[in-house]
Structure 1
């Protein structure tokens, strides 16, 4: 048997961006679908605050864990702040331990690849160019500076979509970077089915057919268009509810969730809107699976976890017609203009009044394809 590849994964739990955490978990779950003789040996580098118990539960047979610190010394961090403004890049970067080996993913912008021969950085999207008003001026500058540094240094980069890869070439023309596209999949086992829907309905006071929006309360996720569509339908079709799940804070726009609550109160939508917060993943999945439809109103995505969840669940999704979503979703969907609540209301009414037809998707095949494409990143 050929020698197994050795691949190092960089893992940090971050509930401010839970999608990034699930991303690494799903790589490991995808690799576990491969034939045993093609499974690589994995080393997971993680910080002290990131529990790896959930990864251990996956039962991946060839895996080890190495806790490290991802923090630079204070004086180096301070010097980096000045050097980015003066020379356009950081003076100091984190050197990963030699145990990381040669195949590492994903390298972060604060990590050096000097001792890594086959490591990739990851850029999910270029939201700062399309929605700069949702960021502070400093964050826009920082994100652009990081990407420009990657372009100038010819770092190997993975993009989650063809859309993002095309954006990189658009915003950094003439770049010579080695570029790869790796579109991730979701992983959903049957544990969510063991939770009785009736139990969740009682727990969360769900008393009517419902739509679900499973996004963190970030401004670009565009929750308001769904509330405005609900308001249009309220007079004519009041017998349904709208369920929100997700962390109720946005570090970039701290007052955003308060504005959501204010809108709900001012328009007397309390009886139809439920915000459940950050709930158990399997409870969320059971609610998604039994909704009239999932709604994904986002103004921008890199490669959306919610859309992948809908595909994995064989559930219907009403989804904004941004270019990325059109690349990502082709079945069991209706697209709508994310700036037009009338368009969304019309699509919601169609779902409420008509029996939906679901096309079965062989999602396991997509998961295996994801695993194979990931391993191919590290071919010689």
Structure 2
């Protein structure tokens, strides 16, 4: 194994019915095949058991798939607040030496790490079409975003339109711009 190769962890923790997120991760890894061999990072995919059939489809030369038991969202947030550690990623970043971890969706507490932790948010459809969401889901999405903005240093957005929406609906400081 090349010790100079960038080592990236990818979190594959989506609802199996959300094909947008699944296809996003699969295509993200597929695009890495277009890099020159010496630029290709090592990928460690941390996946939910019910996404194994998708993880098994990945064809990439520097790839390891690790089945991971992610906490339930509500329990994960509560345990994170009580422990002061991000229960969604703490074991990953302590058990694996990674240069970066992406996409971190749940950031209930600030996390100090040598691993670059990068969040991703696909869209703000709940802001544009609130009638398609239950009140509880509207609150969950808004709170998740607020914790990401408060506790993360890096946020990837899916498009310029989503970035414009974030600026419109949330206050971003210089870290996130």
TM-score bin (small chain): 0.7 to 0.9
Partner of 1:64: 64
Greater RCO (CA < 8 Å, at least 6 residues apart): 2
CA displacement, residues 205-236 of structure 1 (integer Å, 9 cap, x when unaligned): xxxxxxxxxxxxxxxxxxxxxxxxxxxxxxxx
After TM superposition, the structure 1 = structure 2 runs for residues 118-157 of structure 1, keeping only pairs within 5 Å, are 118-157=116-155
After TM superposition, the structure 1 = structure 2 runs for residues 1-380 of structure 1, keeping only pairs within 5 Å, are 3-12=4-13, 14-51=15-52, 52-55=55-58, 58=59, 60-72=60-72, 77=75, 80=78, 93-94=87-88, 95-97=90-92, 98=94, 99=96, 101-109=98-106, 113-115=111-113, 117-179=115-177
- The answer to whether the 8 Å contact 1:80/1:92 transfers is no
Instruction: Report the TM-score, using the length of structure 1 for normalisation.
Output: 0.40
Structure index of larger Rg: 1
Contiguous gaps of at least 5 residues in structure 2: none
Instruction: Report the TM-score, using the length of structure 2 for normalisation.
Output: 0.80
- The answer to whether the 8 Å contact 2:105/2:148 transfers is no
CA distance in 1, matches of 2:146, 2:29: 30
Contiguous gaps of at least 5 residues in structure 1: 84-89, 180-380
Number of aligned residues: 167
SS for the counterpart of 2:51 is: coil
Deviation at 1:79, TM superposition (A): 7.4
Change in 2 beyond 3 A, CA 1:21/1:145: same
SS for the counterpart of 1:144 is: helix
Change in 2 beyond 3 A, CA 1:161/1:66: same
Over the aligned positions, Cα root-mean-square deviation in angstroms equals 3.0
CA displacement, residues 314-340 of structure 1 (integer Å, 9 cap, x when unaligned): xxxxxxxxxxxxxxxxxxxxxxxxxxx
Partner of 1:217: none
Change in 2 beyond 3 A, CA 1:158/1:13: closer
